[in-house]
Amino acid sequence: MTTDDEPTTARSVGSSRSRGLPLWAETLVLLASAVVLALLIKTVLVQAFYIPSVSMEPGLQEDDRILVEKWSGWFGGEPERGDIIVFEDPGGWLIAGEVSEPGNPVSSLMGRIGLLPTGGHLVKRVIGVPGDVIECCDSEGRLTVNGVALDEDAYVLEDKAVRGCRGPMTGNCDWSAGPVPEGTVFVMGDNRGNSADSTVHMCLDGETECVPGDEFVPTDLITGRLWLRVWPFSSFGGVGGTDAFEDVPDRSDDAPEAS
């Protein structure tokens, strides 16, 4: 028997567990909710990746951890020149070191639901969008897009082994690509001497063992646009944009009209 002055807090708290879920069930519900939330965020908002190679130096270093945002693609948004994007392998672009995934089953599962960074994708900079013609190079070794030379000093790696131009992965400084077809982009790494990008997949004069058009990345393979670098902590933050393309006209005069 209790009096009106006796505290009832302990009795109320102790009895609440019997009226609700047991502890193990509550734990399962919380874990399931966390997984669903993580999957939702990965699918709709952001996804974590690691940088698998040196192809985007100096801005992004090998093994950096980044977050890619997906909201810029909502409602038909398209990538823009200068964007750093993450995309699925169009076919034969990835090399062995860039496709490795966590060997630990737990890490692999966490990567799949978006709780750990994953690989198996490529990270490159958009150089050309539909209608663009990219040429290498002018008398100063600069890439041109639709006839306008690009000042890429702010983001391209200065490599003493790369001389003459900003597009040496083909082995020469005399090539052109485009017009870029609708629904695709032309991409390059910032480390122009060590980036298996669109330039590597072009059909150059005299080549026969290549497929025309393989240099262009379909936009439906694009996962998202670089948003934040989250590791190492010393470099945490957004990666600034570039004004290198601000004077480039919308489409090359040689490009067919968009359908």
Burial class of residue 45 (count of CB atoms within 10 Å of its CB; 0-12, 13-18, 19+)? middle
> Is the sign of the CA dihedral 101, 102, 104, 105 positive or negative?
negative
> Is the sign of the CA dihedral 230, 232, 233, 235 positive or negative?
negative
Residue of 53, 124, 195, 198 marked catalytic: 124
Q: How far is it, in rounded angstroms, from Cα 114 to Cα 106?
A: 12
User: Which run of H or E residues covers position 108?
Assistant: helix 105-112
Burial class of residue 91 (count of CB atoms within 10 Å of its CB; 0-12, 13-18, 19+)? exposed
Instruction: Based on the residue annotation, tell me whether 195 is a catalytic residue of this protein.
Output: no
Residue of 55, 195, 198, 252 marked catalytic: 55
Instruction: Based on the residue annotation, tell me whether 124 is a catalytic residue of this protein.
Output: yes
Nearest Cα to 107, choosing from 52, 67, 50, 168?
Answer: 50
Residue 166 φ then ψ, to 5°: -95, 15
Catalytic positions, written as ranges = 55, 124
